Each structure stands twice: as C-alpha cells, then as structure tokens.
Chains A and B, each alone.
Chain A
Amino acid sequence: SQQGEEDPQALSIQEGENATMNCSYKTSINNLQWYRQNSGRGLVHLILIRSNEREKHSGRLRVTLDTSKKSSSLLITASRAADTASYFCATDAIGRQGAQKLVFGQGTRLTINP
C-alpha cells in the first residue's frame, strides 16, 4: 500500500531559520496534502498540491511536488516558536467500495527553539 514517509523524523532549529521537511510516497496520486498536529491534538490541514502542480505557496509555507521522484517537500520560512508541531504528508487513495481515503506518513516532529 502506498504510504508517505517523512524525512527527517525530527528536526530542531532556531527561531527565524527555515525548516524543510520531505515526504516520499509509493504510488500514483491525484494530490498530496500536508497537515500539522500540535501535541495531543487533532490534525489541521495546511496545504494541498495537485499532481499537475510543481509548487504552491501559502503564507510562509512553500510546497513542492516531484511526481517523477514521488516526493514532496514542505518549507516553512522564518520559523516561529508557534510552528513547533508534528507535520504529516498525506496522499489520496481509493479504498474498497470507492471510498476516498488518505494515507498518512509517520510525520516530522519540528521543534523551534527561541
């Protein structure tokens, strides 16, 4: 089954620096999404990039997608302490009976040090 794998598993940087997280997946996709999760809370959708897009921006977030390499990256520029969280990529899949579902990676734990 396809599954996103994030790299690195953990990242610790100083406030103000840029943070880059990578995601790899195994099968063809229609789109790829990034989610954020604060400790012990639910996931929050950040950004979606379609398979025919190569780059997308949203505020301080920049997502790239390389379908030939089956990989994506999430860049957070000018990081802030409040960006400390876990970040997950998710790829779309069709389950049994045509149900849409997402397959999540293991996530990158990002720590921004003040």
Chain B
Amino acid sequence: ETGVTQTPRHLVMGMTNKKSLKCEQHLGHNAMYWYKQSAKKPLELMFVYNFKEQTENNSVPSRFSPECPNSSHLFLHLHTLQPEDSALYLCASSSRGSLRNEQFFGPGTRLTVL
C-alpha cells in the first residue's frame, strides 16, 4: 500500500456516459497528479494540483475535467469520451517543496470506452 487509493479499479463506459474517477491520499501531501498510461506510450502527465490549485493542464481535452476539493482528494470527471481514451489512469501525490519530489502512486483505474 502506498497511501494513495483510487476507485473504481475498473470502469467500462459508453461514449455518452458521464463518470468520475476518485483518488484519495493519506500521506499529508499537498500536490496531486493525474496521469494517463496508454499501451506503448510514455506516462502522460495530465493535471497537477498544488494546495488545491490547478497548476498544470497538459493540453488535456475538455472532456476530462479535474476537481480537487481539498489536498487529500482528487477527482477526474469524464464526459463523452472516445475509444482512444481507454487507458490506465493513475493518480499520484507528493510533498511540494520536498527536495526529493518523490511521487506516490495509486493502483490506477483501468478505463475502457466502448
């Protein structure tokens, strides 16, 4: 256990569905991240939140909408996704200002878009 949990672990949705991914960290960190991992592609950083403020949006399509209500919780709201959005979505957290910048990852949500 890394101290970062993600739900659901698996999700199958149609292109017209609306769903949300949830991430929670129990490490007292102040930075949280969403990554997308597709087959045979590098890990793609999607969003970064520091102290609940979004500080990075890596040109992510608007059908992905993040929400960070507090420094322990991070959501990714999904709407009208495409089949190419099928991937493993990973959440991570870290302590901003730490010299190490080590990130702790959740187990991921395997998303399939039909």
Chain A interface residues (CB < 8 Å from chain B) = 3, 30-31, 33, 35, 40-45, 48, 88, 90, 92, 95-107
Taking A41-B107, A102-B101 as known contacts, 19 extra A-B pairs with beta carbons closer than 8 A to each other, sorted by chain A number, are A3-B42, A35-B105, A40-B88, A40-B110, A42-B6, A42-B105, A42-B108, A43-B90, A43-B92, A44-B2, A44-B105, A45-B104, A48-B102, A95-B48, A99-B48, A99-B55, A101-B48, A104-B42, A106-B42
Bound Cα distance A61, B105 (Å): 21
Taking the nearest CB of chain A, how far is it from the CB of B50, in angstroms?
Answer: 6
Bound Cα distance A40, B88 (Å): 7
Chain B interface residues (CB < 8 Å from chain A) = 2, 4, 6, 31, 33, 41-43, 45, 48, 50, 55-56, 88, 90, 92, 94, 96, 99-108, 110
Interface centre among B43, B45, B102 (most CB of A within 10 A): B43
Set of chain A residues within 8 Å of B4, measured between Cβ atoms: 42
Contacts A40-B110, A41-B108 given; does A102 touch B56 at CB 8 Å: no
Bound Cα distance A112, B56 (Å): 38
Contact of A42 with B48 in the complex, beta carbons under 8 Å: no
Contact of A105 with B42 in the complex, beta carbons under 8 Å: yes
Contact of B42 with A96 in the complex, beta carbons under 8 Å: no
Bound Cα distance A31, B99 (Å): 9
Taking the nearest CB of chain B, how far is it from the CB of A74, in angstroms?
Answer: 16
